[in-house]
């Protein structure tokens, strides 16, 4: 059986632009939740995408619902695919890359494999996956679900969650927390610029960060 729920509301354009200024690694300085398994890696360099999650859960070896979803997806969507543990069959390849590019998808996050890397890279289409495989899914008509909660890289993702992904990883944010995360991230990035300026002037990093004070305050005698 197939289950298809409503598409989530798209990301507000102003929020989208601000989110694209954020680095996932900066968010990783102050947040623990929402980071997808680092084995799910970007197949491109120097890329960053943001958008609302549209989720798919696909049975092992089957790509039927993914093909059908191509008529439902919208520009700016981030497609998040739960392969239900299947790492052997690539569900995304050259043809879907052409379609996804034409649709204007922001990117695709796959808890599984992709194929046709040459096409992905030639089109500069952002795909995060656990690797590549020449074995592909078939139209096996085994069912699946769209826009229901999925588990991808150890993170539960719901349709409408906000995804930020770059060459360093993928983080998933609840919509209610996005603005606060953006504000804090951009402030940290400004602070980092100031730290680099101070380092260039000869200051020592552990003095700037306060790490040396922490260690010295709790240092035990060696004898």
How far is Cα 169 from Cα 45, in angstroms, rounded to an integer? 11
Helix locations, 109-210, DSSP H: 117-123, 178-200, 205-209
Place of tokens 């989110």: 19
How far is Cα 219 from Cα 165, in angstroms, rounded to an integer? 39
Span 82-111, mean pLDDT?
98
Residue 43: phi and psi, rounded to 5, are: -90, 5
Per-residue pLDDT for 222 more than 90? no
Residue 151's Cβ-count burial label (10 Å; 0-12, 13-18, 19+) is middle
Whole-number pLDDT of residue 2 = 99
What is the tens place of the pLDDT at every residue in 131-186?
999 999 999 999 999 999 999 999 999 999 999 999 999 999 999 999 999 999 99
Q: Contact at 8 Å (CB) between 97 and 125?
A: yes
Question: Over pLDDT 70: what percentage of the chain?
Answer: 100
Whole-number pLDDT of residue 221 = 82
Place of tokens 């808890």: 111
What is the tens place of the pLDDT at every residue in 130-145?
999 999 999 999 999 9
Whole-number pLDDT of residue 157 = 99
- Is it true that domain 2-175 has CATH number 3.50.30.40? yes
3-class DSSP state for residue 91? strand
Q: Contact at 8 Å (CB) between 107 and 126?
A: yes
How far is Cα 203 from Cα 63, in angstroms, rounded to an integer? 56
Domain borders along the chain are 2-175, 183-215
């Amino acid at each position: 059986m197939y289950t298809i729920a409503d598409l989530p509301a798209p990301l507000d354009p102003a929020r989208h632009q601000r989110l694209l200024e954020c680095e996932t690694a900066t968010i990783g300085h102050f947040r623990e939740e929402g980071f997808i398994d680092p084995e799910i890696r970007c197949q491109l360099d120097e890329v960053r995408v943001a958008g609302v999650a549209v989720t798919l859960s696909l049975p092992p070896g089957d790509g039927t619902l993914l093909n059908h979803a191509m008529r439902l997806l919208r520009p700016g969507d981030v497609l998040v695919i739960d392969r239900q543990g299947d790492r052997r069959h690539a569900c995304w390849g050259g043809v879907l890359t052409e379609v996804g590019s034409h649709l204007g998808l922001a990117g695709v996050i796959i808890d599984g494999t992709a194929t046709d890397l040459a096409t992905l890279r030639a089109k500069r289409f952002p795909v995060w996956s656990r690797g590549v495989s020449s074995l592909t899914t078939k139209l096996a008509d085994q069912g699946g679900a769209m826009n229901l909660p999925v588990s991808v890289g150890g993170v539960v993702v719901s349709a409408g969650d906000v995804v930020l992904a770059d060459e360093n990883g993928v983080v998933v944010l609840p919509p209610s927390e996005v603005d606060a995360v953006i504000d804090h991230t951009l402030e940290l990035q400004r602070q980092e610029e100031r730290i680099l300026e101070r380092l260039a002037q000869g200051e020592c990093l552990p003095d700037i960060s306060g790490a040396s004070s922490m260690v010295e305050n709790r240092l035990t005698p060696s004898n």
